[in-house]
Structure 1
Amino acid sequence: MPDPLTTSDDVGTASAERNVLMRAESSAAARTGAFIAVTVALFCIQLDFFALNLAIPGVSHEFGVTAPAAQWTLSAYMLAIGCSFIVGGRLGDVFGRRGTLLTGITLFAAGSVGCALAPGLGPLVAARIVQGVGAGFVFPVSVSVISNAFPEETRAHALGWAFGVANIGTALGPFVGGGFTEGPGWRWIFWLLAPLSALALLIAFAYVPDSRDTSAPRQLDLVGCFTIVCCLGALTLAVERGSAWGWDHARTLALLGFAVVTGGLFLLRERLARHPLIDLRLFRNIPYVLVTGMGSIANMGYAVTVFVATLYLQGVRGLSPLTAGIVFLAPALLVALSGPLGGRLALRMRPTAVMALAGAVAGTGMYALSHVTAWWLYVPVFAWCGLGLGLGWTFSSVATQQVVPPARAGEASGVLLTFLVTLGAIALAGAAAAITSMTPERSPEEAYDAILRFGGVVILAAAVVVMAVRHRLVALGKAPPLSLHTAPLPVPSGDGAADARGGDRRTGEDRQ
């Protein structure tokens, strides 16, 4: 099994040849087709999630159910997607990314049709679960498809543009959801997604080249799959429903306890399994840990900022949902642009440095947002905040592909996305609980400002930690300086040298 702590440049000519075999030979047409298929699929997933939030009242009214019951259409989706990232990423690495991508898009398209035709809340929730599983397969495999279809010199640029277009779906989601709900009906959200998903499926079938981890046997750790799905499912459900049930309710506590037990069993299984679902040595790759940690914190900040800003604009400023949506256009636009920007920065800066820069922009933006009230300053500060937060969680997917071998791209992406989604949901639940606890003694505006300031300080501190750790690695000779023109560090001979330092040859970072 290849050492997950090294990149393709770390292990000399033999490793480079092996990585060439792992990537499918792809023509320019195949690369373009793969890019379009992945981009359209990611666009659909982002649009779907952010559109349905505004459709909950419409779903509740049509089916004659309460708003909390209708909320299960969101909770079920989050539950399914959160449980599928790791399994989907590893399925692609082991059995082939093309087949896994096609399966994921098919499930998402079928789920979209099922949602559009659902006669009641139960079938709608079931179709949303199918959608979530499909999206959970598509996201990590899409990253690895791009990574293995494009050469190293253009890979980051392609990933950046793919996420940039996908983030347009994030920006359009509220308008599409609100517009369809007030117009022809919420079902048209899914009637829009179905043909777009079918288009992505046809293009992927025609053009996406196949690739996989050729060093791994075609075996899947089923016990590991079962335990991690149980762990993430219980944790996601507890976080999603904790505020409704009560954080001290028996159901919430039982789910959290079950998540802890199954999580421990998963880690034990991965240490003992011959072919684990996740090679735990991945977490000895310090640059990967830094990128994943910084990206997760940025996504937590993104979830909290959008939530708090929505409450502030409508509750304190008294804006209508449509007017508030217009205010969100500025940060949404910069979130969309953060994808291509990250691709360009990757050509000039080490991935860990880009992540620290994103944290600095996001942290200052969140902190400043809590102090401004004038519209002429609020909107640009909000946009600045969106740029940093968007760059942080978007570029993390690009950066992970630069600090791990292409053979393990799906696994690394699946783990990252699991952290992003799970910790984002936890941060959102924590922010809601904090607002509830503070409002008896403070005004809502003061509570919102306090949360933004706390989040800004946390993100800034994380950025400082990233650069401090990186500086220490440079001082120890385990990472190159920030200059991209510096020659790679010499590779210690033999695996034993790496293992003697805790499994780290150069922390996997000759470009980081």
Structure 2
Amino acid sequence: MGSTAVSAPRRTTKQTGVFLAASLALFCIQLDFFALNLAIPGISDELDTTVSAAQWTLSAYMLAVGCLFIVGGRLGDLLGRRPVLLAGTGLFAAASVGCALAPSLGVLVVARIVQGAGAALIFPVSVSVITNAFPGETRARALGAMFGIANVGTALGPFVGGGFTDGPGWRWIFWLLAPLSALSLLIALRYVPDSRDESAPRQIDLPGCLAVVTSLAALTLAVERGSAWGWDHARTLALFGVAVVAGGLFVLRERTCPHPLVDFRLFRNIRFDLVTVMGSVANMGYAVTVFLATLQLQQVRGLSAILSGTVFLAPAVMVACSGPIGAWLSGRMRATSVMALAGLIAGTGMIGLSWAWSWWFYLPVFTWCALGLGLGWTFASVATQQVVSPARAGEASGVVLTALVTLGAIGLAAVAAAITSLTPETGPEHAYDLILRVGGTVILTSTALSLLARHKLSPRGL
């Protein structure tokens, strides 16, 4: 009796094109944000402004990204993912050129807002484009590989930013991004098909959009600038108040709107909720660890910007592998179990970094930590796509990404405030170590609580 070998379905040319377009676009977005962190002093010097003012290049970008994720994801579902992806990629490419040519800080900040708006359209729609282009048995692998490539941009950001800042100048960060994002646009034009939520009318909930954008913009701005203005400053408190009021109006609107921007029935899915919470905590740890490691390498260990970026290369490899590893694990473990594994690795890694003073110990621990943190935030986006219908993939992705970015910004703001408070008493060295230990403990605790909640609420779920 003969045997027949069953092979996995081969990826078509169109699927390959979709994958390349989405992956390259996400790579550019991640590289952009993490590279520019090291360029702030250079921007301040060249544009003859203060470092605090130059920080607006980061705050403006986060403001646009944070408040438009939900809108961008749902626009793709309603109007078509192809046109929204093309619009976002085109905006990002054009704004990159604008940033590179900016003659003043004001022009640079405006260009960064446009760039952030493009990124807010690209990110959730890229996820839903992959979800709809790949069938169930290959979808997790495609999403994992896409986020693996995006994670390379995240991890290489400090290296690229440091190299350009110490070399030809910070403008070359944007000159690199412009052709890469333009290439992504050309590939998308050729290969990305259109898809949308056919069950929903072509009607956008404009009052809901206005309410959620206002709430998230106020919250993001308050968190981003609170440490500079003062947390008890009237301006900061007013923004938090606006965020609460607008957020309340958004909830009321979505509960009564016949075609809401966000269907709150999504949150009745315990599996979706747990993965979103665990992924958000992991992303907070990711942002905090990259930020602290950059400061620690330069201020405590005395490395230059480019040498500090070089230290990130080994973790970059592990971060890049975390996407495919997560996809492989998804076929063998429940999603919350994968997230718990990521939390265990990340939490122990962050705590280990606070004790790693010799290089032979620091680099392996940093690499171990990068695996857990990369796996955590990457797999959150992969897993949530597995528990919602492809028609509403953009909506789910927008909600998850909003949670990831918002908590990441809150985490960075908390770290900045903690550094300001602790450094005069303990010095930067001990302040960074203490924050890493607290962050690792938070991740381990949240992981344990999430597993307990899964056992109590959804014993047969993810």
Q: TM-score, normalised by structure 2?
A: 0.95
Is residue 26–residue 123 contact of structure 2 (8 Å, CA) maintained in 1? yes
Is residue 159–residue 312 contact of structure 2 (8 Å, CA) maintained in 1? no
Query: Which one of the candidate residues 338, 351, 354 is aligned to 2:322?
Result: 338
Query: Which secondary structure does the structure 1 equivalent of 2:302 belong to?
Result: coil
- 1:187/1:435 Cα in 2 relative to 1: closer, same or farther (>3 Å)? closer
Matched, 1:86 2:85: no
Query: Which secondary structure does the structure 2 equivalent of 1:291 belong to?
Result: helix
Query: Which one of the candidate residues 439, 451, 466 is aligned to 2:435?
Result: 451
Give me the whole-angstrom Cα distance separating, in 1, the residues matched to 2:198 and 2:42: 49
Query: Which one of the candidate residues 204, 223, 234 is aligned to 1:239?
Result: 223
- Counterpart of 2:194, as a letter, is D
Query: Which one of the candidate residues 370, 373, 396 is aligned to 2:380?
Result: 396
Question: Structure 1, residues 232-289: CA drift from partner, whole Å, max 9, x if none?
Answer: 1111111111111111111111111111111111111111111110011111111111
Alignment correspondent of 1:303: 287
Alignment correspondent of 1:149: 133
Alignment correspondent of 2:79: 95
Give me the whole-angstrom Cα distance separating, in 2, the residues matched to 1:293 and 1:58: 36
- 1:441/1:69 Cα in 2 relative to 1: closer, same or farther (>3 Å)? closer
Matches within 5 A, 1:188-203: 188-203=172-187
Give me the whole-angstrom Cα distance separating, in 2, the residues matched to 1:175 and 1:370: 22
Is residue 73–residue 124 contact of structure 1 (8 Å, CA) maintained in 2? yes
Alignment correspondent of 1:159: 143
Alignment correspondent of 1:177: 161
Matched, 1:414 2:384: no
- 1:157/1:315 Cα in 2 relative to 1: closer, same or farther (>3 Å)? same
Aligned Cα root-mean-square deviation (Å): 1.6
Q: Compute the displacement of 1:188 (Å).
A: 2.0
Is residue 308–residue 448 contact of structure 1 (8 Å, CA) maintained in 2? yes
Matched, 1:72 2:56: yes
Q: Compute the displacement of 1:323 (Å).
A: 2.6
Alignment correspondent of 1:485: none
Q: Compute the displacement of 1:210 (Å).
A: 1.3
Give me the whole-angstrom Cα distance separating, in 1, the residues matched to 2:454 and 2:151: 29
Matched, 1:225 2:209: yes
Give me the whole-angstrom Cα distance separating, in 1, the residues matched to 2:253 and 2:73: 18
Give me the whole-angstrom Cα distance separating, in 1, the residues matched to 2:155 and 2:439: 22
Alignment correspondent of 2:267: 283
Matched, 1:351 2:314: no
Matched, 1:168 2:152: yes
Give me the whole-angstrom Cα distance separating, in 2, the residues matched to 1:357 and 1:92: 32
Give me the whole-angstrom Cα distance separating, in 2, the residues matched to 1:327 and 1:210: 41
Q: TM-score, normalised by structure 1?
A: 0.86
Is residue 34–residue 204 contact of structure 1 (8 Å, CA) maintained in 2? yes
Alignment correspondent of 2:120: 136
Q: Which has the higher helix share?
A: 2
Is residue 270–residue 457 contact of structure 2 (8 Å, CA) maintained in 1? no
Query: Which secondary structure does the structure 2 equivalent of 1:177 belong to?
Result: helix
Query: Which one of the candidate residues 448, 452, 455 is aligned to 1:464?
Result: 448
Query: Which one of the candidate residues 359, 372, 393 is aligned to 1:375?
Result: 359
Give me the whole-angstrom Cα distance separating, in 2, the residues matched to 1:460 and 1:58: 37
Is residue 351–residue 402 contact of structure 1 (8 Å, CA) maintained in 2? no
Query: Which secondary structure does the structure 1 equivalent of 2:425 belong to?
Result: coil
Question: Structure 1, residues 302-322: CA drift from partner, whole Å, max 9, x if none?
Answer: 111122222322222233323
- 1:63/1:439 Cα in 2 relative to 1: closer, same or farther (>3 Å)? closer
Q: Compute the displacement of 1:292 (Å).
A: 0.6
Q: Compute the displacement of 1:200 (Å).
A: 0.8
Give me the whole-angstrom Cα distance separating, in 1, the residues matched to 2:242 and 2:298: 38
- Counterpart of 1:188, as a letter, is W
Question: Structure 1, residues 321-344: CA drift from partner, whole Å, max 9, x if none?
Answer: 233222222222211111111111
Matched, 1:29 2:9: no
Identity of aligned residues (%): 72
Give me the whole-angstrom Cα distance separating, in 1, the residues matched to 2:46 and 2:377: 36
Give me the whole-angstrom Cα distance separating, in 1, the residues matched to 2:70 and 2:260: 12
Query: Which secondary structure does the structure 2 equivalent of 1:439 belong to?
Result: helix
Matches within 5 A, 1:308-327: 308-327=292-311
Give me the whole-angstrom Cα distance separating, in 2, the residues matched to 1:303 and 1:400: 21
Q: Compute the displacement of 1:472 (Å).
A: 2.9
Q: Compute the displacement of 1:473 (Å).
A: 4.2
Matches within 5 A, 1:487-502: none
Q: Compute the displacement of 1:474 (Å).
A: 5.3
Q: Compute the displacement of 1:44 (Å).
A: 0.9
Query: Which one of the candidate residues 89, 97, 103 is aligned to 1:113?
Result: 97
- 1:190/1:308 Cα in 2 relative to 1: closer, same or farther (>3 Å)? closer
- Counterpart of 2:321, as a letter, is L
Q: Compute the displacement of 1:125 (Å).
A: 1.1
Alignment correspondent of 2:240: 256
Query: Which one of the candidate residues 50, 53, 68 is aligned to 2:37?
Result: 53
Give me the whole-angstrom Cα distance separating, in 2, the residues matched to 1:197 and 1:316: 36
Q: Which moved more, 1:457-466 or 1:244-253?
A: 457-466
Q: Compute the displacement of 1:27 (Å).
A: 8.0
Q: Compute the displacement of 1:186 (Å).
A: 2.1
Query: Which one of the candidate residues 184, 191, 197 is aligned to 1:207?
Result: 191
Query: Which secondary structure does the structure 2 equivalent of 1:274 belong to?
Result: coil
Q: Compute the displacement of 1:438 (Å).
A: 2.4
Q: Which moved more, 1:304-313 or 1:219-228?
A: 304-313
